[in-house]
């Protein structure tokens, strides 16, 4: 849009001068992130899409060594980073008010300095980010609060309940990533389900993944050589943060029996996290440290998936897991727990094998069945790849950006 104005040069009228009144949409993403996982990859995806659309995008999260790669990737996407100390810590009840107040003030100062058109608050844990939420509500900035993970119905009482009740107004809007999440958010915050948007997480088409055009046999050999494995090794891949949530401790006792039955198997765990040393000690105690490769954070997950034989996902609870969707899109057979909203993605005996979350015995039986029936698993993988198309990254991005634009208009 332009407006017609009278122009002046050196004090003399120039007649009609057209001055643009359009301004780029300014989006601020706020993440209470202390490490890198699916929540952060989601933020990067949305930010990169918004910059390509011509938006001015900023991201604010704690300045930590663990978030260094995240800061670098935001910069590569054309996003400006702002240090924001809103790191969540588990403390005594008496300290909560002080920490909540500090997060509120720090976020409020950033908002006053930046004056964004819209905020996207992206939460890796449902009870995090309340101080930032209250700051956005105080400043009346349209805000989409994306809850990437809601594992149980929250027991929100007292001061926190009053804070949430005040925060969720026409300025703040809830976004769930699955129907399971939406139900739990509705029950936790006493919000009608129709007041909560559900935008499924999505993955890129298989053709867009790294290594998609490479010969599969050549890629398998290349990846195994890079990992120091024999060409004949069967690679069982798990992707996710090394935390209790992801169920690696359920996998540890399974490794020994699987390795004994299938000597050519090697487990590869891609990711890092707070449980790394504990998991290494547990593997050593089981005498199977040599059967598991812990690769740390990787930027070539899709290459690993294309070279692997099986994706194993023992998670205890999830939102709408990116790594599972990506494995399915890559055509990698999957064995997964039934945690949270996973059954919204994978149907047992159709798209893969689903076992009861936390059940090591059932998990072991599922892996054995997968290794003993490769033809059956390939059939599931084909159907899973088709299923993954229903959860596309393009749809996730479009629905998210449309929501953010609509929130600005509503203001």
Q: What is the pLDDT of residues 338-367, one digit of tens each?
A: 998 899 999 999 999 999 999 999 999 999
Which tens digits make up the pLDDT trace of 262-309?
999 999 999 998 999 999 999 999 999 999 999 998 889 999 999 999
Among the listed residues 323, 308, 316, 295, the one whose alpha carbon sits nearest the alpha carbon of residue 360: 316
Q: Give the model's pLDDT for residue 213.
A: 56
Residue 171, SS3 per DSSP:
coil
**Distance (Å, whole) CA 171 – CA 408:** 9
Q: Give the model's pLDDT for residue 153.
A: 87
User: Is the pLDDT at 176 greater than 60, yes or no?
Assistant: yes
User: Is the pLDDT at 100 greater than 60, yes or no?
Assistant: yes
What residue ranges define each of the domains in the chain, with the CATH number in brackets? 26-202+393-410 (3.40.50.2000), 206-388 (3.40.50.2000)
pTM: 0.84
- Do 314 and 86 form a contact (C-beta atoms < 8 A)? no
- Do 265 and 375 form a contact (C-beta atoms < 8 A)? no
Q: How many CB atoms lie within 10 A of CB 194?
A: 8
Q: Give the model's pLDDT for residue 88.
A: 84
**DSSP-assigned beta bridge partners for residue 58:** 28, 80
Q: Hey, what are 334's tokens?
A: 């999957």
What is the separation, in whole angstroms, between the first and last Cα of the chain?
A: 19
- Do 148 and 184 form a contact (C-beta atoms < 8 A)? no
In terms of DSSP bridges, do strands 80-83 and 334-337 run parallel, antiparallel, or are they unpaired? Answer: unpaired
- CB-based contacts of 278, cutoff 8 Å, min separation 6: none
Q: In this predicted model, which residue has the larger pLDDT, 10 or 130?
A: 130
Q: In this predicted model, which residue has the larger pLDDT, 205 or 93?
A: 205
237-249 core/surface letters (b: 16 or more CB in 10 A; e: else): bbbbbbbebbbbb
**Distance (Å, whole) CA 181 – CA 165:** 18
Q: Phi then psi for 356, rounded to 5 degrees?
A: -70, 125
User: Is the pLDDT at 96 greater than 80, yes or no?
Assistant: no
Q: Give the model's pLDDT for residue 92.
A: 57
- Burial class from Cβ neighbours inside 10 Å (0-12, 13-18, 19+) for residue 4 reads exposed
Q: In this predicted model, which residue has the larger pLDDT, 94 or 312?
A: 312
Which tens digits make up the pLDDT trace of 209-227?
555 556 889 999 999 999 9
Give the dihedral of Cα atoms 200, 203, 205, 210; nearest 10 deg: 180
Q: What does the pLDDT average to over 63-91?
A: 91
Which tens digits make up the pLDDT trace of 18-43?
333 457 899 999 999 988 888 999 99
What does pLDDT average to over the chain?
Answer: 89
**Distance (Å, whole) CA 333 – CA 22:** 49
**Distance (Å, whole) CA 296 – CA 241:** 9
Q: Give the model's pLDDT for residue 309.
A: 97
Q: Give the model's pLDDT for residue 250.
A: 93
């Amino acid at each position: 849009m332009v407006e017609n104005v009278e122009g002046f040069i050196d004090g003399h009228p120039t007649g009609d001068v057209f001055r643009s009144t359009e301004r780029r949409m300014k989006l601020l993403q706020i993440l209470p992130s202390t490490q890198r996982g699916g929540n952060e990859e989601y933020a990067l995806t949305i930010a990169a899409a918004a910059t390509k659309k011509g938006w001015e995008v900023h991201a604010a999260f704690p300045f930590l060594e663990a978030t260094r790669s995240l800061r670098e990737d935001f910069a590569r996407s054309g996003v400006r980073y702002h240090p924001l100390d809103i790191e969540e810590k588990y403390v005594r009840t008496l300290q909560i008010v002080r920490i909540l107040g500090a997060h509120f003030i720090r976020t409020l100062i950033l908002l006053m300095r930046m004056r964004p058109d819209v905020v996207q608050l992206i939460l890796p844990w449902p009870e995090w980010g309340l101080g930032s939420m209250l700051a956005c509500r105080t400043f009346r900035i349209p805000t989409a609060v994306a809850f990437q993970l809601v594992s149980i119905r929250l027991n929100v009482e007292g001061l926190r309940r009053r804070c949430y009740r005040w925060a969720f107004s026409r300025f703040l809007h809830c976004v769930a990533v699955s129907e399971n999440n939406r139900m739990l958010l509705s029950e936790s915050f006493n919000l009608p389900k129709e007041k909560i948007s559900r935008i499924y997480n999505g993955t890129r088409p298989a053709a867009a993944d790294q290594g998609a055009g490479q010969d599969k046999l050549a890629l398998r050999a290349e990846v195994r050589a890079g990992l120091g494995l024999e060409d004949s090794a069967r690679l069982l891949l798990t992707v996710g943060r090394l935390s209790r949530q992801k169920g690696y401790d359920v996998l540890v006792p399974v490794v020994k029996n699987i390795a004994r039955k299938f000597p050519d198997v090697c487990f590869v765990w891609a990711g890092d996290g707070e449980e790394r040393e504990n998991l290494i000690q547990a593997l050593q105690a089981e005498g199977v440290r040599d059967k598991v490769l812990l690769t740390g954070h990787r930027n070539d997950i899709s290459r690993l998936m294309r070279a692997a034989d099986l994706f194993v996902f023992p998670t205890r609870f999830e939102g709408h897991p990116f790594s599972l969707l990506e494995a399915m899109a890559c055509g990698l057979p999957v064995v997964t727990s039934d945690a949270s909203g996973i059954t919204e993605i994978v149907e047992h005996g159709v798209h893969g094998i689903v076992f009861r979350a936390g059940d090591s015995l059932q998990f072991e039986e599922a892996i054995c069945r997968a290794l003993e029936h490769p033809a059956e698993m390939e059939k599931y993988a084909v159907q899973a790849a088709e299923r993954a198309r229903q959860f596309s990254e393009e749809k996730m991005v479009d629905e998210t950006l449309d929501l953010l634009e609509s929130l600005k208009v509503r203001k």
